[in-house]
């Protein structure tokens, strides 16, 4: 009987140890959370480069040539834009975001926000846009999940160069093949002195602000003082309204010559912007109101100028009052 008790104790202890090891592995080896992806020999192609370098364009072209594919966007508006582009290529395409769901019968391609990615579906090609957002303390986990879990033969990771190291590390964990392709900006980007007031605004300008009230205030001032129509884009606009406003600004025959927008334009939206004008250099990041970092200024300002458009040079500036608000003793190296 004593031997039976000892044997039972040993078996129970071994079971407890195995259970604890499994629980520990769940948190220390998240790549094993996605068994379908681990069964596949994937290829990760990293497209790294600045804004307006064609890195997303080339990946989406590969997506449209594939038998099945998925595009993962950082914004609902960008998911909608790519949905239209893929559909125009004659491919049956679904649009899946937190606000919209369009799923035709027997669709082969999907455009969705990164949070809506499906790991249980197999794709020939996947495109994950703005992968540098993996460092975002609020949403970065969605990019990590997509890179680890997408069940795709080829995955294009689009980023600005800051996420290359972590993407390669994740690929190493998953035993994926990695290829890195470098891209350079296709049109020059130049800085301009601050604008004295809104009378200096002109056709093709985009004024960037970080509060919805500031956007509408600026829109009203521009339309009243300059006598031109002003389009507006921000994240909480209904999807159809956002698409309509972007189309109005992009249409050279439209009366909407100026755009006011949040930093949503920094996430790859295809807009015909000549100059990006910062109305303020401060933004609320979810925890505090702070000065924009140099990286954020490059990301947002880099939307000025567009290859193949009439604006073959992009310009970045700000309103004069925005500069006066920046403390001169700010020695933060990230700014």
Rounded Cα–Cα distance for residues 201 and 277 (Å):
9
165 HSE (CA, 13 A, CB side) = 2
Please choose, from the candidates 42, 71, 33, the residue with its C-alpha nearest in 3D space to the C-alpha of residue 152: 42
CA–CA–CA angle 253, 211, 248 (5° rounding)? 10
3-class DSSP state for residue 279?
Answer: coil
Structure confidence by residue, pLDDT tens digits, 12-36: 555 554 555 455 456 678 888 899 9
Lookup: tokens for 216: 């509408």
- Cβ neighbours of residue 321 closer than 8 Å, sequence gap 6 or more: none
Handedness of CA 193, 194, 198, 204 (dihedral sign): positive
Lookup: tokens for 157: 């990771």
Rounded Cα–Cα distance for residues 297 and 318 (Å):
11
For 118, 257, 259, 301, the CA distances from 275, given in Å and listed in that order, are: 38, 12, 10, 8
167, 172, 174, 175 alpha-carbon torsion, rounded to 10°: 130
Rounded Cα–Cα distance for residues 220 and 45 (Å):
45
Structure confidence by residue, pLDDT tens digits, 289-327: 888 888 888 889 988 988 777 788 999 999 987 765 544
Structure confidence by residue, pLDDT tens digits, 201-260: 999 999 999 999 999 999 999 999 999 999 999 878 887 888 899 999 999 999 999 999
Q: Model's pTM, two decimal places? A: 0.82
The conformational region for residue 245 under phi > 0 = left, psi -120 to 50 = alpha, else beta, is alpha
């Amino acid at each position: 009987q004593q031997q039976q008790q000892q044997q039972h104790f040993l078996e129970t202890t071994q079971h407890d140890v195995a259970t604890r090891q499994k629980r520990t592995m769940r948190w220390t080896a998240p790549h094993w959370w996605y068994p379908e992806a681990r069964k596949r020999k994937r290829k990760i192609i990293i497209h790294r480069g600045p804004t307006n370098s064609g890195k997303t364009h080339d990946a989406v072209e590969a997506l449209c040539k594939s038998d099945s594919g998925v595009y993962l966007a950082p914004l609902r508006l960008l998911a909608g834009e790519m949905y239209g582009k893929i559909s125009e290529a004659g491919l049956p395409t679904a649009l899946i975001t937190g606000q919209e769901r369009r799923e035709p019968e027997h669709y082969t391609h999907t455009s969705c926000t990164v949070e809506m990615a499906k790991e249980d579906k197999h794709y020939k090609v996947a495109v994950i846009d703005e992968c540098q957002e993996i460092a975002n303390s609020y949403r970065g986990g969605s990019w990590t999940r997509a890179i680890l879990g997408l069940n795709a033969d080829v995955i294009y990771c689009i980023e600005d160069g800051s996420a290359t190291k972590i993407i390669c590390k994740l690929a190493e964990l998953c035993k994926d093949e990695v290829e890195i392709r470098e891209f350079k900006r296709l049109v020059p980007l130049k800085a301009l002195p601050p604008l004295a007031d809104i009378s200096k605004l002109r056709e093709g300008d985009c004024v960037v602000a970080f509060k919805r009230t500031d956007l509408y205030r600026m829109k009203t001032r521009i339309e009243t003082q300059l006598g031109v129509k002003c389009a507006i884009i921000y994240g909480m606009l209904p999807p159809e309204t956002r698409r309509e406003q972007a189309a109005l600004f992009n249409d050279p025959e439209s009366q909407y010559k100026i755009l006011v927008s949040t930093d949503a334009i920094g996430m790859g939206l295809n807009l015909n912007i000549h100059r990006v004008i910062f109305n303020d250099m401060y933004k609320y990041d979810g925890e505090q109101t702070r000065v924009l970092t140099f990286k954020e200024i490059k990301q947002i300002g880099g939307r000025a100028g567009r290859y193949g458009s009439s604006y073959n040079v992009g310009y970045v500036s700000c309103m004069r009052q925005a500069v006066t608000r920046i403390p001169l003793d700010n020695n933060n190296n990230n700014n």
